[in-house]
């Protein structure tokens, strides 16, 4: 008796996958003869699940369950139901320890019923073509069920067909390498190590290697951000730093306008369209009469500013980008002006994670989306790809001094430029700095902005230099 | 069904293809040919196209030509090293296939001729530039995508166009190409040296190809003089094409020992067609079509 689910798999999914993305299977015989097993594979793409279901014998289709992250797939209800029907997954929630335990219980019950499990021991999709260290769960499972074989599978191709952060699948051949079933009598860390080694070994075999062209290692510019409330002197400082650093390398400085420094001097550049648009939007934002009117233009300006970093890398490829105010950190800190009572470290961390698309462990119905509905729409529009800088410096200035400096400029004041709001912003920046340095692994340093220019400059330059040398040691 | 059985042309074509497949199987069994370098699979795919084009409609046959282009192109893109950011350009390359096939079956020759060298070659760099994140390697990527598109869609498209004008001409060309390939395999295994075997295979294949061309010239509406000329030209162009594509294959890592689906099977099978089909199409258009009282 063939169920509808099996029929859909055989008549629709398999032919479509085969026809659009070709599939080569090496070692299919290893799947025959074993009745209940755990399939483990490297995880690079959403296509992985389809490919692993493609190699299963027809009889096993109904008896196989894939372990999948609920908070990720539950973002669309129809999609969730479809996945639930086709692959009958064991849902895991990575953010909830209680439910994590439940998932483990369900995996156990599946295995005890003599059914199969598909597991991605890397936990989440990695960068294209890289195998991350395995999580320990698979080792514990293998130690517990010594009689159930584990079949390591290496998938080659999905990382090019549909890599992380790309939405457009491309027809490219996929190779699936199935290695013989393994039974273990070792302890769990040892098992995890062996399995990781097996998959890494297949990834280095001859069949996997395709045509490679000579290519210089991509130069990703390191980004330095100077944060601070208005009037803290961050624009002046960042320009000075750019001039100083550009003596030996090329530096792009993104402030109110884009500047490019080489050999210690400002260089003329071909103008960019993004830059022009940003200038217009920025001017419009400065004229806003109220915080409400200020929000949307400023948000657009910040997103364009972030996009400008990509453009900068694409057209000028500088060694270093210096940002006067980081879009990601600014957006998060500015939340305090709108919802002061909600702002705390936890919310700050969540917002940072969502905006920099590291939100795998944040579910769709989290409270933060109700507090800031903008976050939901930004996630939906895929605008949550803001970049996290490598080092952040906060120029800490007393709001009253900053206010005096702003007044002395004699320009028209912006909406948020009064002592009350500036001091709120200062608190927000300090919280953000705390979160960024502790939880996100960024070099962050708060510097007293009341010192002389030379002092501040030497302090910042020293930190940048030391972090750069560290990086070089790491590279070699 | 009756139409097929009564048609002497289709019966002859079937017979010819069966003989070619048998020779192919003998070659494989005697170890002269790799299992994956088998022609019998792909000549029956061509047979299917010709059969559909002759008996059902050319519209349907154009779809099968499109699939062939798609599979060849997909194999090429699987083997090259592209940057992940080039995917828009590659998808653009895939999208030119249906356009080409549309222009073929609506007989819009001018558009067919310029689609790839003008519009695709202008649009693909644009798409690559949109998706580009680093400026390094852009020219390489555009070159690779354009080259694959040119070889596996433009050149095969010429054969498809030839089959649209005159299915028997295309069938004749295909049979000639397969015969030449098999002769070349036999001669290569007997006579070692590269130049020696090349010259030998040209000399031996010319009379065979002239004979085949003459014998089907009635169906192709091909004058005897042109049949002889084509018999001389086809093997020469195949040799030039084979030489070039083999050089490219060696860079891609396609070797007869490691042929696998997705690793050069299609490219290796159709490599002899790539150079010869544009030449024969233009020969046909310039010298034969329009100069005949009928056709």
Which candidate from A24, A218, A317 shows the least CB-CB separation from B261?
A24
- Tell me whether B261 touches chain A (CB under 8 Å): yes
Q: Give the residue-averaged pLDDT of A382-393.
A: 85
| Segment A227-276, tens digit of pLDDT | 888 888 888 888 888 888 888 888 888 888 888 888 888 888 778 888 88
- Residue A161, pLDDT above cutoff 60: yes
Q: CA-to-CA distance for B22 and B36, rounded, in angstroms?
A: 16
In the predicted structure, residue A134 carries a pLDDT above the cut 80: yes
Q: Is A233 left (phi over 0), alpha (psi -120 to 50) or beta?
A: left
- Here the CATH number for the domain that contains residue A132 is 3.40.1130.10
Q: Which of B75, B84, B135 sits opposite A128 (nearest CB)?
A: B84
* pLDDT > 70? residue A217: no
Interval A16-35 mean pLDDT = 87
A298 and A155, same structural domain? no
Q: A257 and A108 share a domain?
A: no
Best probe of the B interface among A129, A173, A252, A317, by most B CBs < 10 A, is A173
**Residues on chain B touching A17 (C-beta within 8 angstroms):** none
More confident call, B35 vs A389: A389
Integer CA distances (angstroms), B41 to A148, A185, B24, B275, in order: 41, 48, 10, 21
Q: Do B262 and A166 touch (CB under 8 A)?
A: no
Among the partner-chain residues B94, B137, B262, the one whose CB lies closest to the CB of A215 is B137
* Interface probe, candidates A166, A172, A308, chain B, greatest B C-beta count within 10 A: A172
pLDDT over threshold 70, residue B33: no
pLDDT bin (cut points 50, 70, 90) of residue A144 is confident
Query: Residue B294: pLDDT band by 50, 70, 90 thresholds?
Result: very low
Q: What percent of chain A clears pLDDT 70, i.e. is strictly above it?
A: 95
Contacting residues of A for B141, CB less than 8 Å apart: none
Residue recorded with tokens 């998060």? A332
Q: What is the mean pLDDT of residues A277-284?
A: 87
Strands A258-262 and A265-267: what pairing?
A: antiparallel
Last residue of a domain, one of A166, A181, A208: A208
Nearest chain A residue to B259, by CA = A207
The answer to whether A443 and A392 are in contact (CB under 8 A) is yes
B81 CB within 8 Å of a chain A CB:
yes
Nearest beta carbon to residue A172 from set B78, B132, B253: B78
Nearest CA to CA, how far is B66 from chain A (Å)?
13
Give the angle subtended at the CA of B126 by the CAs of B125 and B129, to the nearest 5°.
85
CA distances from B149 to A320, B72, B157, B269 (A): 38, 10, 11, 17
Identity of the residue in B78, B81, B134 whose CB atom sits nearest the CB atom of A314: B134
Please give the residue of chain A at the shortest CA–CA distance from B258.
A207
- Mean per-residue pLDDT, B117-121: 94
Query: Which residue, among A130, A171, A206, would best test binding to B if mutated, counting the most B CBs under 10 Å from its CB?
Result: A171
A282: Cα within 13 Å, side-chain hemisphere: 17
Instruction: Give the CATH number of the domain where residue A363 resides.
Output: 3.40.50.300
Mean pLDDT, residues A279-295: 84
Instruction: Return the number of other C-beta atoms located less than 10 Å from residue A265's C-beta.
Output: 10
Size of interface A-B (CB pairs under 8 A): 71
From chain A, pick out residues whose CB is under 8 angstroms from the CB of B134.
218, 313-314, 317
Q: Is the alpha carbon torsion for B121, B49, B205, B76 positive or negative?
A: positive
Contacts of B78 in chain A (CB under 8 A): 22, 157, 172-173, 210
Let me know: does A318 contact A260? Beta carbons within 8 Å: yes
Q: Mutate which of B78, B92, B132 to test chain A, going by most A C-beta atoms within 10 A?
A: B78
Domain residues for the domain of A243 are 222-475
Contact A211 B87 (CB under 8 A): no
- Span of A170-179, A182-191, B115-124, B214-223 with lowest mean pLDDT: B214-223
For residue A262, how many other CB atoms are within 10 A of its CB? 16
**How far from B181 is each of B25, B174, B279, CA to CA, in Å?**
14, 11, 18
How would residue B127 be classed by pLDDT, with cut points 50, 70 and 90? very high
Q: Are residues A97 and A234 located together in one domain of the fold?
A: no
Chain A residue closest to B80 (CA)?
A211
Q: Is the minimum CB–CB distance between B6 and chain A shorter than 8 Å?
A: no
Q: Is some CB atom of chain A closer than 8 A to the CB atom of B132? A: yes
Tell me the mean pLDDT in the region B276-281: 94
pLDDT at B142 over 90: yes
CA distance B105 to chain A (A): 24
* Residue A187 near residue A144 (C-beta atoms within 8 A): no
Query: B81–A212: do the CB atoms touch at under 8 Å?
Result: yes
Does residue B222 carry a pLDDT above 60?
Answer: yes
Quick one: closest CA in A to B89, which residue? A170
Mean pLDDT in residue range B1-30: 76
Burial environment of residue B67 by CB neighbours within 10 A (0 to 12, 13 to 18, 19 or more)? middle
Answer whether B138 touches A (CB < 8 Å).
no
Count of other CB atoms within 10 angstroms of residue A441:
10
Phi/psi class of residue A264: alpha, beta or left (left: φ > 0; alpha: ψ in -120 to 50)? left
Among B81, B87, B136, beta carbon nearest to A170: B87
Q: How far is A469 from chain B (nearest CA, A)?
A: 24
Given a cut of 50, is residue A474 above it in pLDDT? no
A111 and A11 in a common domain: yes
Mean pLDDT of A404-421: 80
* A420 shares a domain with A337: yes
Average pLDDT in chain A = 83
Is the per-residue pLDDT at A337 higher than 90? no
List chain A residues with CB under 8 Å of B70.
171
Interface contact flag, A171 B132, Cβ < 8 Å: no
- Same domain for A264 and A345, yes or no, is yes
Distance, CA of B258 to CA of B264 (rounded, Å): 9
For residue B26 the two structure tokens come to 């003998």
- Split into its structural domains, chain A has a count of 2
* pLDDT category of residue A1 using cuts at 50, 70 and 90: low
Q: Among A264-268, A283-287, A356-360, name the one with the lowest average pLDDT.
A: A356-360
In whole angstroms, what is the distance from residue A407 CA to residue A422 CA?
13
**Mean pLDDT, to the nearest integer, of A385-411?**
84
Rounded to an integer, what distance in angstroms lies between the CA atom of residue A338 and that of residue A347? 14
Domain ranges of chain B: 2-288
A14 and A60 share a domain?
Answer: yes
A114 and A14 share one domain? yes
Question: A173 φ, ψ to 5°?
Answer: -65, 145
Most confident of A265-269, B46-50, B254-258: B46-50
Domain assignment present for residue A217? The answer is: no
Do residues A156 and A255 both lie within one domain?
Answer: no
- Give the residue-averaged pLDDT of A385-394: 86
Neighbour-count burial of A436, counting CB atoms closer than 10 A to its CB (0-12 exposed, 13-18 middle, 19+ buried): buried
Query: In chain A, which residues touch B (CB < 8 A)?
Result: 22, 24, 128, 157, 160, 163, 166, 168, 170-173, 175, 207, 210-213, 215-216, 218, 310, 313-315, 317
Q: Is the pLDDT of residue A99 over 80?
A: no
- Number of Cβ within 10 Å of residue B183's Cβ equals 19
- Tell me whether residue A215 is in a domain: no
* Strand (E) or helix (H) holding A65: strand A64-69
Tell me, yes or no, whether A84 and A197 share the same domain: yes
pLDDT of residue A62: 84
pLDDT of residue A417: 79
More confidently predicted of A113 and A358? A113
Six-digit token string for A174: 């996929």
Residue-level pLDDT at A214: 60
Interface confidence: ipTM more than 0.85: no
The pLDDT assigned to A476 comes to 31
Last residue of a domain, one of A148, A177, A208: A208
pLDDT band at B295 (very low <50, low <70, confident <90, very high): very low
Together in a domain, A399 and A298: yes
End-to-end Cα separation, chain A, in angstroms = 60
Test B133 with A166 for CB contact under 8 angstroms. no
Averaged pLDDT for residues A326-332: 87
Indicate whether A184 and A310 sit together in one domain.
no
Whether A472 shows a pLDDT value over 60: the answer reads: no
Q: Chain A: nearest CA to B73, how far in angstroms? A: 9
Asked if the Cβ–Cβ distance from B77 to A216 is below 8 Å, we say no
Instruction: Pick the more confident residue, A14 or A209.
Output: A14
Chain A residues touching B252 at Cβ < 8 A: 211
Chain A: nearest CA to B133, how far in angstroms? 5
Instruction: Kindly state the average pLDDT of the residues A188-204.
Output: 87
């Amino acid at each position: 008796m063939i169920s509808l689910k099996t029929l859909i798999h055989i008549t629709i999914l398999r032919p479509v996958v085969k026809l659009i993305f070709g599939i080569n299977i090496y070692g299919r015989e290893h799947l025959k003869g074993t009745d209940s097993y755990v399939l483990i594979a490297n995880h690079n793409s959403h296509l992985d699940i389809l490919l692993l279901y493609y190699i299963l014998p027809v009889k096993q289709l109904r008896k196989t369950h894939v372990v999948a992250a609920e908070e990720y797939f539950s973002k669309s209800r129809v999609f969730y139901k479809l996945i639930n029907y086709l692959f009958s997954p064991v849902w895991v929630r990575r953010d909830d320890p209680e439910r994590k335990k439940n998932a483990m219980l369900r995996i156990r019950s599946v295995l005890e019923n003599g059914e199969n499990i598909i597991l991605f021991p890397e936990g989440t999709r990695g960068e294209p073509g890289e195998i991350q260290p395995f999580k320990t769960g698979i080792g514990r499972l293998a130690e517990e069920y010594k009689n159930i074989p584990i079949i390591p599978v290496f998938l080659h191709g999905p990382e090019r067909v549909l890599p992380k952060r790309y939405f457009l699948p491309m027809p490219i051949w996929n190779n699936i390498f199935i290695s013989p079933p393994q039974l273990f009598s070792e302890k769990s860390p040892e098992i995890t190590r062996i399995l990781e080694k097996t998959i890494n070994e297949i990834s280095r075999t001859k069949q996997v290697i395709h045509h490679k062209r000579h290519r210089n290692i991509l130069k990703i510019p390191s980004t330095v951000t100077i944060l601070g409330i208005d009037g803290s002197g961050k624009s002046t400082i960042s320009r000075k730093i750019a001039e100083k650093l550009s003596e030996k390398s090329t530096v792009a400085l993104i402030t109110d306008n884009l500047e490019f420094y080489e050999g210690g001097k400002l260089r003329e550049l071909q103008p960019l369209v993004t830059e022009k648009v940003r200038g217009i939007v920025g001017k419009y934002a400065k004229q806003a009469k109220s915080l409400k009117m200020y929000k949307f233009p400023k948000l657009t300006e910040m997103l364009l500013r972030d996009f400008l970093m990509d453009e900068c890398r694409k057209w000028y490829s500088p060694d270093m980008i210096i940002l006067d105010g980081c879009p990601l950190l600014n957006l998060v800190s500015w939340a305090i002006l709108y919802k002061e009572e909600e702002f705390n470290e936890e919310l700050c961390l969540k917002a940072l994670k969502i905006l920099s698309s590291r939100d795998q462990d944040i579910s769709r119905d989290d409270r933060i989306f109700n507090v800031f509905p903008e976050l939901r729409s930004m996630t939906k529009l895929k605008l949550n790809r803001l970049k996290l800088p490598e080092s952040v410096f906060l120029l800490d200035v007393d709001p009253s001094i900053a206010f005096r400096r702003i007044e002395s400029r004699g320009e028209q004041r912006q909406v948020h430029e009064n002592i009350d709001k500036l001091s709120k912003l200062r608190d927000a920046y300090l919280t953000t700095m705390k979160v960024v340095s502790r939880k996100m692994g960024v070099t962050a340093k708060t510097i007293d902005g009341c010192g002389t220019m030379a002092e501040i400059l030497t302090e910042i330059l020293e930190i940048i230099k030391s972090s750069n040398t560290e990086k070089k040691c790491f590279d070699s | 069904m009756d139409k097929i059985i009564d048609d002497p042309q289709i019966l002859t074509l079937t017979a010819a293809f069966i003989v070619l497949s048998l020779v192919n199987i003998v070659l494989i069994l005697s170890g002269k040919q790799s299992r994956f370098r088998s022609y019998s699979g792909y000549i029956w795919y061509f047979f299917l196209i010709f059969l559909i084009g002759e008996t059902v409609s050319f519209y349907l046959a154009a779809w099968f030509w499109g699939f062939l282009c798609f599979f060849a192109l997909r194999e090429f893109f699987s083997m090259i090293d592209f940057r992940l950011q080039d995917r828009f350009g590659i998808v653009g390359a895939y999208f030119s296939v249906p356009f080409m096939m549309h222009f073929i079956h609506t007989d819009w020759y001018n558009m067919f001729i310029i689609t790839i060298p003008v519009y695709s070659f202008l649009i693909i760099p644009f798409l690559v530039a949109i998706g580009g994140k680093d400026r390094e390697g852009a020219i390489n990527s555009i070159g690779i995508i354009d080259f694959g598109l040119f070889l596996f869609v433009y050149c095969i498209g010429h054969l498809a166009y030839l089959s649209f004008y005159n299915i028997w001409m295309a069938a004749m060309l295909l049979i000639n190409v397969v015969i030449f390939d098999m002769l070349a395999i036999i001669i290569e295994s007997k006579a070692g040296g590269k130049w020696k075997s090349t010259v030998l295979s040209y000399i031996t294949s010319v009379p065979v190809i002239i004979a085949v061309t003459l014998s089907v010239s009635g169906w192709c509406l091909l004058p005897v003089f042109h049949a002889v000329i084509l018999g001389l030209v086809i093997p020469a162009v195949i040799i030039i094409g084979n030489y070039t594509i083999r050089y490219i294959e060696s860079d891609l890592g396609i070797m007869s020992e490691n042929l696998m689906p997705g690793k050069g099977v299609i490219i290796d099978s159709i490599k002899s067609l790539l150079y010869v089909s544009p030449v024969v199409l233009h020969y046909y258009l310039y010298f034969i079509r329009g100069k005949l009282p009928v056709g």
